[in-house]
Structure 1
Amino acid sequence: MTASRTIRVGVQLQPQHADYAQIRDAVRRAEDLGVDIAFNWDHFFPLYGAADGKHFECWTMLAAWAEQTSRIEIGALVTCNAYRNPQLVADMARTVDHISDGRLILGMGSGWFEKDFDEYDFEFKTAGRRLDDLRDALPLIEARLNQLNPPPTREIPVLIGGGGEKKTLRLVAQYADIWHTFAQGDELAHKIDVLKRHCHDIGRKVEEIEISVGVDGRGREGRALDDPEVEGRALLEAGVSLFTIGVGGPDYDLAMVEKYVGWRDQLNG
């Protein structure tokens, strides 16, 4: 599988260990660099560093980004399905879609960070049951989006994150416009083969799904690189077209993001 799409670069600005002014500055700098998509994440506590460090809520922030930015797409990587009623998620997504003039990506996942669930009194079900809940929620979100007045400005792209082969990738085949994973190398090739089989089973072309991979500029051998070519080229050949770099606070160093943007521009011409 080779990429035939326009190459895009995303950045996940992790909303942790920073004042909001620093996050606001980071999304401004990302847009100025030419990043295609700015993501945050849907957690209530930091995932790295001090466990009780500074942290901000996902969807409130996306509404602010929708007003602050003018070009980049925005979204959560990813919204936890368990934290909100799916009908409400649809209405939130439609609203942020309008605020942003049609730049929202609706990232969805089943959730995994047990501390979030425990601290905010959500039931932490088994991984399988959480995925079943996501399966049940996605058509409800789709139906509500079709009922809202006014409707969304566009058919909001759905991103699904995760690599479970029986359930998650089946949902990707059924509902997603973008699939996000951290897999690389042989693991990525295998997951893409599984996704192809699910697409075949439901009568969909796998080429309709954009593949996003989380990258860090280190390549498979874990060495820091001055040029994303080593890491990016192998992923490009596997079919990846969206390269997403995670950046944490408080400083939000975008040096590797800038290198990926330059590499993207060389490839896209």
Structure 2
Amino acid sequence: MPTRPVRVAVQLQPQDADYAQIRDAVRRAEDLGVDVAFNWDHFRPLRGDVDGKHFECWTMLAAWAEQTSRIELGALVTCNAYRNPDLLADMARTVDHISGGRLILGIGSGWHRTEFEDYGYEFGTAGSRLDALGEALPRIESRLARLNPPPTRDIPVLIGGGGERKTLPLVARHADQWHWFAGPDELPHKLDVLRGHCAAIGRPFEEIELCAGVGGLGRAGLPPQLPEVEGEPLRALGVTMFTINVVGPSYDMSFVQPWLDWRDRLNA
């Protein structure tokens, strides 16, 4: 299998900003040369004022799909519990068409108890939420195969999370991309576990693109390191997509440029 190119993604966190500022941020990300723009699937801010400004994930992705022309886009990650799986498949197919085939279907089991309860979803347990995700993924795949018109491409599925007994088996069976906020000290063990789950079902481990978060306020409250410090150890382990968290309301992307320069040197 050919070596994948290195890619740089940003997560534009949809809180603390007016939508005009978010719209401007995704435009600037595309103009800058970023490969992927993610938002997240939450109903309230994750830090600061929990009643502060915040916007919904999938309606935003549809707007981004219309606004942009090159960049891939998706949620990091959709909460499986918040939408019927067949409906989610139809939403993903629609955004796929609006974008001309640039959607990544990021999905996970969810974790934020307060927003589950505030919006009337059953929180359950970590295990029950992962079981529900395991039941939803085949339904999503089945619905995508039956929609008319079909998606413009096989929509890449990105699964987030590092649970070894339930999440990583789902990655092995269903995901095109695996995303986790793990440093180079933790990652080798997780990769060994994922390789084992792939081997158990006869799937080549190399089919899965490895993606990692590399900084911003979502990781220990710290800005990202330079790519030579943070990126090189992860790339040596096989990571090819690197996600930087960018926060509102200013969405300052000045620290993204060194990562783009590094990407371009490696991909030349």
TM-score of the aligned structures, taking structure 2 as reference length: 0.96
Q: Give, in angstroms, the shift of residue 118 of structure 1.
A: 1.0
Asked if the contact 1:8–1:243 (Cα under 8 Å) also holds between the matched residues in 2, the reply is yes
Is the CA contact 1:217–1:228 (under 8 Å) kept in the aligned structure 2? no
Cα deviations across residues 15-35 of structure 1 (Å, max 9, x unaligned)?
A: 000000000000000000100
**Which residues of 2 match residues 102-141 of structure 1 at below 5 A?**
102-141=101-140
Q: Deviations over 1:33-53 (max 9, x none)?
A: 100000000000011221111
Give unmatched runs, 5+ long, in structure 2: none
- 2:9 matched to which residue of 1? 10
- Paired residues of 2:215 and 2:224 also in contact (CA < 8 A): no
Amino acid of the residue matched to residue 214 of structure 1? Answer: G
C-alpha separation in 1, matches of 2:210 and 2:234? 10
Asked if 1 retains the 8 angstrom alpha-carbon contact of 2:215 and 2:225, the reply is no
Aligned AA (1:24): R
Give the superposition deviation at 1:227.
Answer: 3.0
Residues in 1 aligned to 2:163 and 2:220: alpha-carbon distance in whole angstroms: 24
Counterpart contact for 1:217–1:256, Cα < 8 Å: no
After TM superposition, give the deviation of residue 216 of structure 1 in Å: 1.5
Amino acid at match of 2:196: R
* Aligned position for 2:147: 148
The C-alpha deviation readout for 1:82-115, integer Å capped at 9, x for no partner, is: 0000000000000000000000000010000111
Q: Map of 1:185-204 to 2, 5 A cutoff?
A: 185-204=184-203
State how far apart, in whole Å, the 2-side matches of 1:11 and 1:137 are. 27
Shift of 1:217: 7.5
TM superposition shift of 1:4:
2.8
Once the two structures are TM-superposed, the CA of residue 11 in structure 1 deviates from its matched residue by: 0.4
Equivalent residues of 1:215, 1:243 under 8 A apart = yes
Q: Does 1:57 align with 2:44?
A: no
Query: Is 1:250–2:246 an aligned residue pair?
Result: no
Change (3 A) 1:217 1:60: closer
Q: Relative CO higher for 1 or 2, CA cutoff 8 Å, sep ≥ 6?
A: 1
Letter of the 1:32 partner, please give it.
D
How far 1:224 moved relative to its partner?
6.0
d(CA) in 2 for partners of 1:248, 1:221:
14
1:262 aligns with 2:257: no
For 1:142-179, what per-residue CA distance to the aligned partner results, in whole angstroms no more than 9, with x for missing partners? Answer: 00000000000000000000000010000000000000
The residue that corresponds to 2:239 in the other structure is: 240
Number of residue equivalences: 266
Is the contact between residue 22 and residue 250 of structure 1 (CA under 8 Å) also seen in structure 2?
Answer: yes
Question: Do the aligned partners of residues 74 and 221 (structure 1) sit closer, same or farther apart at CA in structure 2, a change above 3 Å counting?
Answer: closer
Q: CA contact under 8 A between 1:217 and 1:227: conserved in structure 2?
A: no
Q: Residues 27-176 of structure 1: matches in 2 within 5 Å?
A: 27-176=26-175
The alpha-carbon distance between structure 1 residues 153 and 229, as it changes in their structure 2 partners (threshold 3 A), is: same
Residue aligned with 2:186, SS = helix
Q: Is the 8 A contact 1:216 1:256 kept in 2?
A: no
Q: Return the alpha-carbon distance in structure 2 between the equivalents of residues 20 and 221 of structure 1.
A: 26
Measured in 1, the distance between the counterparts of 2:225 and 2:96 equals 36
Give the match's secondary structure for 1:241: strand
Contact in 1 for aligned 2:224/2:244 (Cα 8 Å): no
1:24 maps to 23
Mark the CA change 1:222 to 1:13 in structure 2 (over 3 Å): closer, same or farther: closer
